[in-house]
Amino acid sequence: MARFDSVEWGTVKVDGKEYDYDVVVTPKGELKPRTNERDKFGSHSFSKEELEKIYKDGAEIIVVGTGTSDLASLSTEAEGFAKQKGIKLVRLSSYEAIKKYNELADEGKSVGAIIHITC
């Protein structure tokens, strides 16, 4: 299971390794880049498709790290999808989101995460 160590503007540390791009963690603990290398910081809005991928991997809870300044947001479509599927969304600044993800994972919850590392 992936475990977050820290986040700063432009980097996130997971299991002792630093990444300079937004990350997604599946409920199975797999760490993936949020976007491709060309657009490594992703959008400042989380899409329905992003939530859908994590949901299909088995997430009942999705922790959304809204950036180091807490400025990123969920699209209207993403909000609607979560509500329709009964997904519990936990939206926090990325600093707080990584702590919450670790806590929920430690409790054995079926949790995924999307962590934005700028804004």
Q: Is the Cα dihedral 76, 78, 79, 83 positive or negative?
A: positive
pTM of the model as a whole: 0.93
Residues of the chain with pLDDT under 50: 37-38
pLDDT of residue 99: 98
Spatial CA neighbour of 59 closest among 38, 90, 37: 90
Question: In this predicted model, what pLDDT tens digit does every residue of 6-23 receive, in sequence order?
Answer: 999 999 999 999 999 999
Which residue range(s) make up the domain with 59?
4-116
Distance CA 119, CA 102 (A): 22
- CATH code of residue 16: 3.40.1230.10
Number of structural domains, the chain? 1
Predicted pLDDT of residue 39: 57
Chain Cα centroid distance, residue 22: 8
